[in-house]
């Protein structure tokens, strides 16, 4: 009889459950797959491009509206009405204003001649009797009106016994005056009524 122990069958190894199969590489449920990352990046790029196109479209519409608006963008009529009258004149407007002012100065000098002749011959030196169109007998040769506030293209005489002032208003709106008191030298002044830098510069002429 042998001393060897009888052969015993070794116990079978313990069975363990098989691991779950790995998800496919293109499963989007993981959220971190290469295709998912590529999709997110591409979506962000498309959003940026659309945003840029939208901004360009709005800017283009704005610029097109300004280009078609009259006078550089549509000035408010109320603002235009409040604009100062002495705005810079064009070359043609300035030339016309200077011609009008020269004519108004000539009228003023002619009226002075009538006033002085009237005072010396008919009024015995009393200028107050030489201030109306009838007293001066100018007829239609001069645009003289009775009163001290002539309109554009007109002249008037304000006078006292010792002196007088002739005011001639240009069609440009500028006013030119000649004042004489007694034996003093005539004083010539002017007022800029809108035609700046035409015939009245510095308040004298």
Among 11-20, 107-116, 121-130, which range has the highest average pLDDT? 107-116
DSSP annotation string for 2-33: --SPPP-PPPPPPP-PPPPPPPPTT-GGGS-S
- Would you say the pTM of this structure is higher than 0.75? no
Q: CA-to-CA distance for 195 and 186, rounded, in angstroms? A: 25
Give 127-158 pLDDT, tens digit per residue. Answer: 999 999 999 999 889 999 998 789 999 999 99
Give 59-117 pLDDT, tens digit per residue. Answer: 666 666 555 544 444 444 333 334 344 457 899 999 999 999 999 999 999 999 999 99
Looking up tokens 């030196």 gives 125
Cβ 155 vs Cβ 110: under 8 Å: no
Could you give the C-alpha distances from 1 to 4, 105, 193, 205, in angstroms and in order? 9, 163, 151, 159
- Burial (0-12, 13-18, 19+ Cβ within 10 Å), 56: exposed
């Amino acid at each position: 009889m042998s001393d060897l122990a009888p052969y015993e069958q070794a116990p079978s190894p313990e069975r363990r459950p098989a691991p779950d199969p790995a998800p496919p590489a293109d499963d989007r449920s993981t959220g971190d797959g290469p295709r998912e990352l590529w999709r997110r990046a591409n979506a962000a790029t498309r959003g940026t491009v659309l945003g840029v196109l939208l901004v360009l479209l709005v800017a283009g519409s704005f610029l097109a509206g300004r280009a078609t608006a009259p006078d550089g963008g549509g000035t408010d009529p109320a603002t235009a009405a409040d604009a100062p009258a002495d705005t810079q004149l064009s070359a043609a407007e300035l030339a016309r204003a200077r011609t009008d002012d020269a004519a108004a100065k000539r009228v003023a000098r002619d009226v002075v001649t009538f006033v002085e002749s009237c005072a010396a011959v008919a009024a015995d030196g009393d200028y107050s009797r030489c201030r109306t169109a009838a007293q001066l007998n100018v007829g239609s040769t001069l645009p003289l009106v009775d009163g001290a506030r002539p309109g554009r293209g007109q002249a008037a005489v304000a006078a006292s016994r010792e002196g007088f002032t002739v005011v001639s208003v240009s069609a440009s709106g500028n006013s030119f005056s000649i004042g004489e008191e007694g034996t003093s030298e005539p004083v010539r002044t002017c007022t800029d009524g809108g035609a700046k830098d035409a015939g009245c510069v510095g308040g004298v002429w």
